[in-house]
Amino acid sequence: MEPLSLAFRERAARALHDPVLATAMQRLERGWQAARARAAADLPEFEALRDAAVAIKDHVLANLDLYLEEFERRFTAAGGVIHWARDAAEARAIILDICRRAKARTVTKSKSMVAEEIGLNAYLEAQGLRVIETDLGEYIIQLAGDVPSHLVGPAVHMTRERIAELFAKAHGGPPKQDSAALVAEARQVLRQRYLEADVGITGANFLIAETGSIVTVTNEGNAELTQGLPKVHIALTGIEKIVPTVAEAFVFLRLLARSATGQEFSAYTTFLTGPKREDERDGPQEMHLVLLDNGRSRMLGGPFREMLRCIRCGACMNHCPVYLAAGGHAYGWVYVGPMGSVLTPHFVGIDKSWPLPNASTFCGRCEEVCPVRIPLPKLMRLWREEAHKRGLAPPAARVGLTLWAFFARRPALYRLATRLAMAALGALGRRRGRFSRLPFASGWTVSREFPAPQGPTFTAQWRAARGAKG
Amino acid sequence: MADSPRVALFVTCLVDLFRPSVGWAAVALLEAAGCRVEVPEPQVCCGQPAFNSGDRRTTEDLARQLIPALEPFDYVVAPSGSCAGMLRRHFPELFEGDPAWSARARAVAAKSFELVSFLVEVRGMRVPPGRFSGRVTYHDSCSGLRELGIKDQPRRLLRAMSGLELIEMEGCEVCCGFGGTFCVKYPEISTKMVDDKAARAEASGAELLLAGDLGCLMNIAGRLARRGSNMQVRHVAEVLAGRLDAPPIAQSRG
């Protein structure tokens, strides 16, 4: 997916005029924020769990090589085949190769953000494979030729009416009006596809080192059908998803659903350890795991390491006023909201994404609700530093900052200049107490009055009243 | 020191330039709390505009310019959660691993406070000196709330004022969309955010909106005025100190 993040401001401005999106975002804000707050309040040890999760992740990240090796041993011993992919192209080629060897024509897929990250669907389709998304949201997105706008609810920007139209067009028949009928229709269509599929591709929420298991979490049970019915199962995930033990996986499972949707637990949580064994009736004959680096090991060794704690719950975007105003598509690439503003520059380059880490008021709500306490504002600021070093900000912003810094570094000159400027501005604005228009401040005055200064600066008044000290 | 600590008022650039009356209200409150107040020079800015624009060098230079001025005092107090948060939380971060400045930044950080939390937590103020009657609502500025834990302190003082009725608006903890340079970098999103804030403030039924940060207040007042609202906007220090002679933010005299 070609990143469109440089156009964030324009895309966001357009999104602000979309009444459908506004309704969807309001629903998200009212529904999921309240649900998460309730879930957190109902669990006395919620904060302690967050601390435990941070400690586990930090420990794993500090010993990632060891845990990956242990996981590989166990996963292989259980009969799985592991594939290490350095980047997106390698991961795509590995997956295509497995599909080819399985003589696959139809591939079912449960939701995977890593698959979005590597642009898997478009690639497989270009190679002649039929790819069917089985997560309801992803299925809708696929029918619409759209991209996800949220980590957990990829079709969160759509309305029921639009979905009914899409279904009618794809499945035939008149558009259904109520949600239950739409879900039933999707389920019926997808059931057949599960049976037709030669290969099933899933993501993996966690990898457990001590058992070599992968863990999938869904609310629809589609991961189970995707991996269990076809002959070949391919799981695809990032190398940071390791947890040491089953017990520790539960620390994250208890946090994940609560942080994401406010559920105590997701409806379907499956631990998969190897393909079908001889004495088993169900399961794939082959189980592959594609472990993707794609810049993650570079992140591990640098100042962005904390970002690798992310468990993709979406709480940061559910609570982000910028995301809730602009919607996910404004971000212009796969990962959206605050976590996307930190991750996207890693994947597409800061020169193609610098508006994203700048699109934050640093209000701090993302960090406040992040189950693994990622300091998202701090990490966005690091990207701003990188963008500043490379001179990526627009000229007006750079000139403004340089001019301000020139005065701020020279206190005596600053005093004189501000005294004169405020006296003038104060006199001009005295009658109304505000300005409706000001040169160089159109970004403000386009929608707000600009409060007039009172006139003499505080420091000047203080000096006159109490004399200079210090 | 126990009786009358020497306090450096870090007045903040916005208060200095736009609303000196907030600075005087802060002086009155600090003196009522038994402090000896001084306004040390040079103080220009805590450096946030540079810090949040990714200009680390200018940020560090400004911090190195400010720290020596603040060192001689028992406390440093700012009528802003955002600027106090910069001193308390981010100054030590800036100089991490810098042998010459790390300890100095940490020492200044440890004695730096936002005004209202300083009055309540350090000086034990229970009843503020000001008098006010009317219905007010309080907006929690982001940095104060999330970096410094300022939530209850201003409400405790406001509730102690007889005649003042505190009404909570919906979403009092949601950002107003100011965000320093954010409001001019992304004016469309910022407008949506401040418009939501203004609408919620109006819907609360309060006649006066208060907060502890002038940036947020100018943003909210500016939007309310553009909406044609009669709602008044002031810094919380003005009400706590009872210094209401200056017209509300973005309003004219009389």
List, for residues A73-84, the tens digit of each pLDDT value: 999 999 999 999
Minimal CA–CA distance to A360: which of B185, B245, B56, B169? B185
Is residue A373 exposed (0-12), middle (13-18) or buried (19+ Cβ within 10 Å)?
middle
Percent of chain A at pLDDT > 90 equals 93
* Contact criterion met (CB < 8 Å) for B142 and A361: yes
List, for residues A141-150, the tens digit of each pLDDT value: 999 999 999 9
Chain B 48-77, residues with CB within 8 Å of chain A CB atoms: 49-56, 58, 61-62, 65, 69, 72
Look at the block and give the residue holding tokens 């698959």: A115
Is residue A90 exposed (0-12), middle (13-18) or buried (19+ Cβ within 10 Å)?
middle
Chain B 160-199, residues with CB within 8 Å of chain A CB atoms: 173-175, 177-195
> What number of other Cβ atoms are within 10 A of residue A247's Cβ?
10
Is residue A48 exposed (0-12), middle (13-18) or buried (19+ Cβ within 10 Å)?
exposed
Shared fold status for B6-122 and B134-241: yes
Token output for A318: 């559910």
Report the domain count for chain A. Answer: 2
Chain A partners of B247 at a C-beta cutoff of 8 Å? 433
Mean pLDDT of all residues belonging to chain A: 96
Per-residue pLDDT 10s for chain B (254 aa) are 457 999 999 999 999 999 999 999 999 999 999 999 999 999 999 999 999 999 999 999 999 999 999 999 999 999 999 999 999 999 999 999 999 999 999 999 999 999 999 999 999 999 999 999 999 999 999 999 999 999 999 999 999 999 999 999 999 999 999 999 999 999 999 999 999 999 999 999 999 999 999 999 999 999 999 999 999 999 999 999 999 999 999 998 76
- Structural domain harbouring A161: 43-298
A342 within domain boundaries: no
The C-alpha torsion from B40 through B41 and B44 to B47, rounded to 10°, is -70
A424 within domain boundaries: yes
ipTM over 0.90: yes
* Contact criterion met (CB < 8 Å) for B189 and A414: no
Residues A287 and A408 in one domain: no
How far does CA B140 lie from the centroid of its chain? Answer: 10
Residues A400 and A293 in one domain: no
In this structure, are residues B61 and B195 in contact, taking their beta carbons and an 8 Å threshold?
no
Residue-level pLDDT at B2: 58
Chain B partners of A322 at a C-beta cutoff of 8 Å? 186, 189, 193
B31 part of contact set with chain A, CB < 8 Å? no
List, for residues A354-399, the tens digit of each pLDDT value: 999 999 999 999 999 999 999 999 999 999 999 999 999 888 889 9
B4 part of contact set with chain A, CB < 8 Å? no
* Contact criterion met (CB < 8 Å) for A12 and B189: yes
Domain end, chosen from A270, A298, A326, is at A298
DSSP character at residue A282: S
Domain end, chosen from A268, A298, A328, is at A298
* Contact criterion met (CB < 8 Å) for A418 and B17: yes
Minimal CA–CA distance to B172: which of B184, B154, B148, B187? B154
Q: How many CB pairs under 8 A join A and B?
A: 214
Distance CA B85, CA B147 (A): 6
Chain B 79-118, residues with CB within 8 Å of chain A CB atoms: none
Q: In what order do the strands lie in the sheet with B112-114?
A: B36-38, B6-9, B75-78, B112-114
- In chain B, domain spans: 6-122, 134-241
Is residue A358 exposed (0-12), middle (13-18) or buried (19+ Cβ within 10 Å)?
buried
Minimal CA–CA distance to A249: which of A265, A263, A235, A234? A265
Task: Say whether pLDDT at A326 is over 80.
Answer: yes
A418 within domain boundaries: yes
DSSP character at residue A456: S
Of A13, A358, A457, the CB nearest to B17: A457
Distance CA B173, CA A432 (A): 30
How far does CA B42 lie from the centroid of its chain? Answer: 20
Residue-level pLDDT at B254: 62
A272 within domain boundaries: yes
Chain A residue with minimum CA distance to B12 = A458
Of B19, B21, B222, the CB nearest to A450: B222
CATH class of the B134-241 domain in this structure: alpha beta
Residue-level pLDDT at B230: 94
Look at the block and give the residue holding tokens 């993707």: A292
Token output for A94: 């590995």
Chain B partners of A444 at a C-beta cutoff of 8 Å? 183-184, 187, 222
Task: Say whether pLDDT at A469 is over 70.
Answer: no
A357 within domain boundaries: no
* Contact criterion met (CB < 8 Å) for B247 and A405: no
Minimal CA–CA distance to B139: which of B204, B87, B212? B212
- pLDDT level of residue A320 (50, 70, 90 thresholds): very high
Token output for A367: 């960090």
Residue-level pLDDT at A173: 87
- pLDDT level of residue A177 (50, 70, 90 thresholds): confident
A367 within domain boundaries: no
Higher pLDDT, A174 or B198: B198
Minimal CA–CA distance to A314: which of A257, A238, A380, A253? A257
Distance CA A83, CA A60 (A): 20
List, for residues A47-66, the tens digit of each pLDDT value: 999 999 999 999 999 999 99
Residue-level pLDDT at A470: 41
In this structure, are residues A333 and A353 in contact, taking their beta carbons and an 8 Å threshold?
yes
CATH architecture of the domain with residue range B6-122: 3-Layer(aba) Sandwich (3.40)
Domain end, chosen from A249, A272, A298, is at A298
* Contact criterion met (CB < 8 Å) for B181 and A397: yes
Residue-level pLDDT at B253: 76
Average pLDDT over residues A322-336: 97
